[in-house]
Amino acid sequence: MKRILVPTDFSDQAENALKVAVQIAEKNNSEIFLVHSLEMPLHISSSGNSGGKPEFLLFIKLAEQHFEELLEKPYLEDLEIHEVIGHGEVYNDINEVANNKEIDLIVMGSHGISGFKEMFIGSNTEKVVRTSNIPVLVIKNEHENFEITNFVFATDFSEECCESFKEAKKFADGVNAQMNLLYVNTPGNFITTAEATKKMNEFVDKLKIENYSLNIYNDTSVEKGILNFAKDTNASLIGMSTHGRQGIAHFFNGSISEDLVNHANRPVITFKI
């Protein structure tokens, strides 16, 4: 993780993500790319040659001022930080910088107030998770000491998850975390404990994984199983694979009660299949 991208709108939530990114960067000697997308009124952004308009230049000036104030924060001292101002949609700007700068990890804050449901549905965060080809770490709260002591990674242990799992393992190694691998057994897709154990062991043996535990959890749905297991084990981070709308949006769309959503008040990291 030599290059970390942090989107910012200069809000408290964005700074929570930046503080986590700083802690990861310090452990891995990483550079940080701070990306701010200009959110201009429609009449400016849709007009031709907007780059020369006084209103546009004002937005640039305000962004530069916010960057100057942010970079004066003591916790950013001695770090290599690059500032980028984007002119398009937030998720497009993020993906463009991620591709051009060979970013290894995106760390972004969430404005969600109701947990995963609001955090992942219809927001810039959800769009980034859906479109990003690199890992996305979503931070909701402030973490004075971001230590991953219990990294729960949920997967179905299928062949198509191998590459995303390798990325998850790389992240776990970067933060010195043990991976607690989770298989959620549901009534609609039930297999016996023996079958699940065999499937999991074949998966880890094939990938020659070390420093992990295997866990089977029974619940009424995959999403509830992930959330309940994370709660029961006091997970410090939830990880999973996603393939666009069939991934995160599927897990967290509509079927989780409000109480379960509120209890899932912890960081999440996603890895694209």
The DSSP string of 114-150 is STHHHHHSSSHHHHHHHH-SS-EEEE-S--SS---S-
CA distance 157 to 153: 11
CA distance 264 to 116: 7
This prediction has a pTM of 0.84
Q: Check whether 43 has a pLDDT greater than 70.
A: no
Q: Return the closest-CA partner of residue 168 out of 242, 108, 115.
A: 242
pLDDT recorded at residue 202: 93
Domain end among 139, 162, 181: 139
Q: Which residues contact 187 (CB under 8 A, 6 or more apart)?
A: 220
3-class DSSP state for residue 79? coil
pLDDT recorded at residue 209: 82
Q: Is residue 180 a part of any domain in this protein? A: yes
The total number of structural domains that make up the chain: 2
Same structural domain, 255 and 207 = yes
Same structural domain, 117 and 160 = no
Same structural domain, 230 and 105 = no
Q: What is the DSSP letter of 159?
A: G
Exposure class string for 76-113: b at 16+ Cβ within 10 A, else e = beeeebebbebeeebbebbbebbeeeebbbbbbbbebe
Domain end among 139, 168, 195: 139
Same structural domain, 120 and 202 = no
CA distance 218 to 260: 16
Structural domain range at position 174: 151-272
Q: Is residue 144 a part of any domain in this protein? A: no
Same structural domain, 262 and 174 = yes
Same structural domain, 160 and 112 = no
Same structural domain, 96 and 158 = no
Same structural domain, 199 and 257 = yes
Q: Check whether 205 has a pLDDT greater than 80.
A: yes
Q: Which of 38-47, 54-63, 151-160, 201-210 has the lowest mean pLDDT?
A: 38-47
Domain CATH code at residue 198 = 3.40.50.620
Q: Is residue 146 a part of any domain in this protein? A: no
* CA dihedral sign, ordered 126, 127, 132, 137: negative
CA distance 216 to 229: 9
Same structural domain, 83 and 21 = yes
Q: Is residue 69 a part of any domain in this protein? A: yes
Question: Residue 29, by phi and psi: left (phi above 0), alpha (psi -120 to 50) or beta?
Answer: left
Q: Check whether 37 has a pLDDT greater than 50.
A: yes
Same structural domain, 21 and 61 = yes
Same structural domain, 92 and 177 = no
Domain end among 97, 112, 139: 139
Same structural domain, 186 and 80 = no
More confident residue, 256 or 157: 157
